[in-house]
Amino acid sequence: MASGFFALLDDIAALMDDVAAMSKIATKKTAGILGDDLAVNAEKASGFVSSRELPVLWKITKGSFLNKLIILPIAFLLSAFVPAAIIPILLIGGIYLAYEGAEKIYHYLFHKKDTKHSLENIEMTEDEILEYEDKKVKSAIIVDFILSVEIVIIALSSVVEEELTIQIAVVTVVAILATVGVYGIVALIVRMDDFGYKLIALSKNKTSISKTIGTGLVKTLPIIIRSLAVIGTIAMILVAGGIFTHNIPFIHDLFHALPTILAEFIVGILVGFAALFIFQIFLKIIPAKK
């Protein structure tokens, strides 16, 4: 009896080791999307008055958990009964990611003068502020849903040959880590300037260490937000390119002579601008028909 119990513990320990190892691999594969997720949500949660940043972020976080509760069972059912659907879904998501990256580059190059305003610079009533928040939250949750689909599918594709039990454990761990990690870091980022202002307030003279650190934190926040946007755009393009080069033999053979990262970037850019071009034509055709 005791030997059977210890044998069960050994099996559980072995399973946990497998899950931990495969979760590490799956997390690495989703790192690019996680970077984009971080950049997107840091942008979505910023631009509010200080007292509303964390409540808004908490709403988005709850929406993200709900997204994954919807996505995970569907992904596991597909893996169990229609595994052939995983690659097409992955490719569709790759097109979306490439499009988003190309659209951001296009916007930067041709609409750089467009400005965004925060609630701190606009006089709004309480109802208008809540309506504005709801719109940003809904927008963030929709983007999170699409990115969550990609995170789950990419994680699932890394363990698709394993038993369903291991698939469920690994992908669930990655989904939870993605949500907690991304939104935890975003919370620290959006509150960084407030912490800086508190340090400045604590300082008693112009050359104090607390004031220097506080000023540095306040000045660094906008740089971090902009840097994350750039990193997120590059990450989206690389992830999209990687999806196509790793899953379409023709594309892999066409670019196999190039360094992997360069091949993925080129493919991501080409797919992204092709999708952007088609989408722009589609938008022009629809009004013409009306």
What pLDDT score was predicted for residue 210?
Answer: 78
* First vs last C-alpha separation in the chain: 76
Query: Which residues touch 118 (CB under 8 Å, ≥6 apart)?
Result: 46, 47, 48
Q: Is residue 227 part of a domain?
A: yes
* pLDDT value of residue 27: 57
Please report whether residue 250 resides in a domain: no
Nearest Cα to Cα of residue 185 among 231, 120, 129:
231
> Residue 265 in contact with residue 98, Cβ under 8 Å?
no
Q: pLDDT 10s per residue in the chain (290 long)?
A: 445 443 433 444 444 454 555 555 555 556 566 666 676 666 666 666 666 777 888 888 898 899 999 998 988 888 888 888 888 888 888 898 889 889 988 888 887 665 444 445 456 666 766 777 788 788 778 878 877 887 888 788 777 777 778 788 888 888 888 888 888 888 888 778 777 888 777 777 766 777 788 888 888 877 887 787 787 788 778 888 888 998 899 998 888 888 988 999 999 999 999 999 998 888 888 765 54
In a domain, 264, yes or no: no
Q: CA-CA distance, 290 to 137, in Å (whole number)? A: 32
Q: What range does the domain containing 130 cover?
A: 2-240
Rounded CA separation 36/152 (Å): 15
Q: Identify the pLDDT of residue 125.
A: 66
Query: Could you tell me the pTM of the whole model?
Result: 0.70
How many Å apart are CA 167 and CA 236, to the nearest integer? 25
Tell me if 277 is assigned to some domain.
Answer: no
Q: Look at residue 215 and tell me if it is in a domain.
A: yes
Is residue 23 included in any domain, yes or no?
yes
pLDDT value for 276 = 92
Distance (Å) of CA 234 to CA 147, 243, 244, 252, 265: 15, 14, 16, 20, 8
Domain total for the chain?
Answer: 1
Q: Residue 40 has what pLDDT?
A: 66
In whole angstroms, give the CA distance from residue 219 to residue 133.
25
Q: What is the pLDDT of residue 24?
A: 55
Specify the pLDDT at position 8. 38
Q: Residue 162 carries which DSSP code?
A: S
Phi-psi region of 118 (alpha: psi -120 to 50; beta: other; left: phi over 0): beta
Structure confidence at residue 274 (pLDDT)? 94
User: Alpha-carbon torsion 136, 138, 143, 147, what sign?
Assistant: positive
Report the pLDDT value the prediction gives residue 54, as an integer from 0 to 100.
78
In a domain, 245, yes or no: no
Would 174 be classed as within a structural domain? yes
Give the pair of three-digit tokens for residue 191: 């509150």
